[in-house]
Structure 1
């Protein structure tokens, strides 16, 4: 079993879009999404993919798929190296299709990361 680690993308000023998104969610939705992220860290990406907890959106952008009742949350992430993954931001889904702007935004955060514009641990 692969042990993986999710981190949140953080700008040099300390702000974090994903934490802001979590703060905007009702507690049950936030708790479900965070519990799912921890579960994925435990079981690994391959198992999570089989369980449809994660989905590949582009070559290097993926999503964590959380649902509680009719509330659907997505957390976008990319793979860095080895078992390290960075969550860029999240959204509450209102349509069937993942908005192209959100995939584009995740790619922009990935580019900023690759250019060293984010805080790195």
Structure 2
């Protein structure tokens, strides 16, 4: 089965929010989160809970847990077996913060605006 291409969303000024988020994590938490990203790369939309969960409107969350720390990386699917990772955070509440979901939607809109109808 062909893998999905994982893309780190890049802001207009060249920042990659998920990459920056991963760099701030502990070694153990970073390793676990990267393993979960690899699972997403291998399984795409077939990856389900507890690793991945749809949040609505085409936004999904990738979940990784080490002890009591829980990371979330939000993402969406794009044309041609692509997964775009938009933003990441440490989850501290039961619900995923609306501000994080809205940020993922804004990043998706910016990404789609830059890509237009291009497939790359």
Question: By the TM > 0.5 criterion, same fold?
Answer: yes
* Aligned positions of 1:1-121 closer than 5 A: 1=1, 3-46=3-46, 48-49=47-48, 51-116=49-114
**1:59-107 alpha-carbon deviations (Å, 9 max, x no partner):** 2110101111111000000111131010001000001100000000000
| 1:40 shift after superposition | 2.2
Q: Which runs of 5+ in 1 are unaligned?
A: none
Q: Which runs of 5+ in 2 are unaligned?
A: none
TM-score by length of 2: 0.88
Task: Determine if contact 1:73/1:93 at 8 Å carries over to the other structure.
Answer: yes
**Distance in 2 separating the partners of 1:15 and 1:43:** 27
Q: Helix, strand or coil: the match of 1:3?
A: coil
TM-score by length of 1: 0.88
